[in-house]
Structure 1
Amino acid sequence: MGTRTRLEVPGIGEIGGWLARPEAAPRGGLVVVQEIFGVNAHMRAVTDRYARDGLLALAPALFDPVERDTELAYDEAGFEGGRALAASLGFDRAVAIVEAAAAQLRTLLAEEAPDRDAAVGVVGFCWGGTVAYLANTRLGLPAVSYYGARTVPFLDEPLRAPMLFHFGGRDHSIPEADIEAHRRAKPEAEVHVYDAGHGFNRDVDPRHHDEASARQAHRRTLDFLQRSLAPAART
């Protein structure tokens, strides 16, 4: 369903990405923000799934400004390499890339669904979950954050759009105190905690995947996006 694409980011240059189109006219756009492992086969499949759900979905290759075409394994070397790439990129450049991806989606939506007034949101996973949150506070995009473990230092930034958080109750990288900090700081946000650990949506990684939690979170995500991307939600 998806195809490789290129994206021009002001101040950064050209990067790659994965663009997936729905079969019918899209009902909205979605920037899909990767984990620290790059836009690998799993993230491409996630992006394709959102297209099957009716969204025009784009996963920009956020690590391209540091190292092109990154696809890391789910092992210790992959974790260490991904952390290093994320640190080198930094959150400011990551948000700038999301901004450019959202702009490209708006252009495509105007061409492919001109009568729908379709909006753009963002979903991110792990490190990308924090990037998605920052896309809300800094860009005003409706956002879904899956187990974003680095959000706490930014909880003083006010939300500018609807926000949904998914956390794993057995995620050691996000202790219960941090989840409660999100609830206190963002009472207007939707927060769900699952009987699962970190990375529960990653269906290619049996050590972390939890099918029941992933299904429920996906249903909630689609419901959230349907509400948040509707024209009435933006008036």
Structure 2
Amino acid sequence: MKHSPSDKKTPVTGQMVKLTAADGHSFGAYEAGSAESPLALIVVQEIFGLTDHIRNVCNDFAAEGFHVIAPAVFDRAKADVVLPYSQAGVTEGLELRSQIPSDKTLADITACAKALRDAGHRKVGIIGFCWGGLLAWLTATQTHNVDVAVSWYGGSIGNHVDTAPHCPVELHFGGEDSSIPHTEIQKIRDARPEVEEYVYDDAGHGFGCPERPSFNRDARDLAWSRSVEFLKTHLA
């Protein structure tokens, strides 16, 4: 079955909720889908925050039958962050990211996994985009909180390949992504041949976001279809 998300902004069908990490930090999260859904998924944002695009991704996964939670991981530095898809947005996002130790971000993701399991889900998956793609990889390699992980154009994964993932992982990269060189993609492939890896030759960084100039519908649709099938296979 071919899966394809909506290109246009869809009506918001989810809601903002509050979660608390093990260290007492309270943060916002976008929740979509029902706890009665058979599948559970954490969606991790790009460097731009919980944008309309990320919320629409959550809605699209909810339409595929997932119960979704997307943490506002910038809340540890600044609440309610939504940045523009521009160089200024990238600059501000990187500054905010630098203020948050990765173990604190992983603690927020762990809280999302706990919330989904407390809702009755036996298995939990994760998918991340851009910065979230790296966080999905780190979750799969540094914690035992998820049962399957997918990363779209996650940068710097090549710097974290010494530890094997504890669950099945699928990676998606753009062949024309200037921020993730082919040497890094090959490094991951050499170090972790068990990981499924796809490269979309004519796609750049952020190819899955309709709000970015790099949007590539064909690559997005194929990566989406592969991701949905991979997640459903390992969460069933």
Q: Same fold (TM over 0.5)?
A: yes
Partner of 2:177: 171
Partner of 2:131: 127
Partner of 2:41: 30
Kept in 2: contact 1:27–1:118 (CA 8 A):
no
How far off is 1:208 after superposition? 1.2
Partner of 1:9: 21
Task: Report the residue type matching 1:125 in the other structure.
Answer: F
Partner of 2:89: 78
Partner of 1:233: none
Kept in 2: contact 1:2–1:20 (CA 8 A):
yes
Task: Kindly report the root-mean-square deviation, in angstroms, between the aligned alpha carbons of the 2 structures.
Answer: 1.2
How far off is 1:152 after superposition? 1.4
Structure 1, gaps ≥5 residues long: 111-116, 231-235
Task: Report the residue type matching 2:194 in the other structure.
Answer: E
How far off is 1:174 after superposition? 0.7
TM-score normalised per structure 1: 0.91
**Equivalent position SS for 1:18:** strand
1:190 to 177, 187, 196: 196
Question: Cα deviations across residues 140-160 of structure 1 (Å, max 9, x unaligned)?
Answer: 321101011121111101110
**Equivalent position SS for 1:63:** helix
Structure 2, gaps ≥5 residues long: 1-12
**Equivalent position SS for 1:137:** helix
Q: Aligned partners of 2:208 and 2:51: how far apart in 1?
A: 14
**% identity of equivalent residues:** 37
Partner of 2:141: 137
How far off is 1:118 after superposition? 4.0
**Equivalent position SS for 1:37:** coil
Kept in 1: contact 2:85–2:211 (CA 8 A):
no
Q: Aligned partners of 1:11 and 1:76: how far apart in 2?
A: 33
Q: Aligned partners of 2:138 and 2:80: how far apart in 1?
A: 24
Kept in 2: contact 1:12–1:65 (CA 8 A):
no
How far off is 1:180 after superposition? 0.5
Q: How many residues align?
A: 221
Larger RCO: 1 or 2 (CA < 8 Å, sep 6+):
2
